[in-house]
Amino acid sequence: MRRLNVRFAQIEECIRTSLFAVDVLPRNPPFEPGELLLLRLVKDDAVKHGKLDSRIEFALVFDHVVEDPDGSVSRKSWPNAGKVWRYILVCSETVPTLPFSLERLGLNRDYAGQGNAIYIQPDDEAVVRTMLQPVPTASRPLQVAHADVLRAIRNFDRIMRDAPIRETTVREHQRVLGDPFLSDALKRYYSHRCQICQHDFTPRYGVPFADTRVAEPKEARPRVLSTNLLVLCPNHNSIIGAAGALFHRAALEYRYPNGLAERLTLTEHLVA
Ligand SMILES: [Zn+2]
C-alpha cells in the first residue's frame, strides 16, 4: 500500500480514469499489481476544502506502469496541470474508502510530506484497511461520523457512474470493489435496521444482522448503485420475494399482489 499526494484539480480525473502520474518509480519495494494506492489530497487543498479530517476518500488498485516520454498521456489526462510526468500508473479500478486522514488513525509512523508513492508499512496498512471495510470489526470498532458513511456511499455511486466499463485483463471476480462495500456501508449507515419496519437484532441477540435487496432487479445496469439497494430484515427480504411484491420508487413503497403497501420508513440514502 502507498500514499499518493494529489491536487484537488486533478483528483477527478484520477478517480474517473484510474490513472495517476509520477516522475520517479519507487524501487524498494517496487509497485506490485493489486497494491492499493491511497489518493490523498495535498494539505493546502484539504484546508481550502475543509477536508483536513478526510483527506483520503478513494484508492486506486495498481495494475501496471507505462512510460510517457513525450508527455502526451499526461497532457491528455491532466490538461490543466501545466506539467507532464515520466510515468503513468495504470490502475485496474478506483475504490471508495470511508473518509479519513492518516494523521487521525494513530499509526506507528508518520506519512506526512510532499513525497509521492510513500510506502505504508504492513502494520500500519492493517489499520488503514479497516477504512475500506464499512462494517467495523470487533477488535477495532471504528469511529466514523454518520455523515461520512453516507459520503462513502455517494462516492461509491460516483465511481460506478463515472467509470467506463474497462476492457482490462481484470476479471469481475478479481475486482477489489464489489457489492460488499456498498451493502456493508448501507447496513452501517442504518445501524442494520430494516428500512421498512426498523427491526434491529442487536438489543435482543447482541449482534447486528440485516440483508440487502436490489429494489428494482430489472434495471439494466452492469453494477448496482446505492439508489437501487435497500437494507431489510430477513423477514421482509423473504416475504417480498415470496409474495412477489414490487418496489414503487416514486412512493418509496413495496406493493403486494393482495393490495398491501408497505412504505420505507428509513429513506435518507434514497433522497438527495
Ligand atoms: Zn423489516
Per-residue pLDDT tens for 150-168? 999 999 999 888 776 554 4
Distance 253 CA to ligand 1 centre (A): 13
Distance 59 CA to ligand 1 centre (A): 34
Predicted confidence (pLDDT) at residue 265 exceeds the cutoff of 80? yes
Distance 161 CA to ligand 1 centre (A): 29
C-alpha cell recorded at residue 48? 481550502
Distance 239 CA to ligand 1 centre (A): 10
Strands, E, within the chain: which ranges? 2-6, 19-22, 36-41, 56-67, 87-100, 118-119, 211-214, 229-232, 246-248, 253-255, 261-263
Distance 169 CA to ligand 1 centre (A): 41
Q: How far apart are CA 171 and CA 168, in angstroms?
A: 8
- Average pLDDT on 254-271 reads 97
94-144 pLDDT per residue, tens: 999 999 999 989 899 999 888 889 999 999 999 999 898 887 665 555 677
Distance 199 CA to ligand 1 centre (A): 6
Cell 430489472 -> residue: 218
Q: Are 34 and 174 in contact (CB under 8 A)?
A: no
Q: Are 130 and 142 in contact (CB under 8 A)?
A: yes
Distance 20 CA to ligand 1 centre (A): 44
Distance 221 CA to ligand 1 centre (A): 26
Per the prediction, the chain carries an average pLDDT of: 89
The percentage of the chain sitting over the pLDDT mark of 70, rounded to a whole number, equals 89
Q: Are 39 and 60 in contact (CB under 8 A)?
A: yes
Q: What is the pTM of this model?
A: 0.87
Q: How far apart are CA 251 and CA 265, in angstroms?
A: 11
Distance 227 CA to ligand 1 centre (A): 19
CA quadruple 186, 189, 190, 192: dihedral positive or negative? positive
Distance 234 CA to ligand 1 centre (A): 7
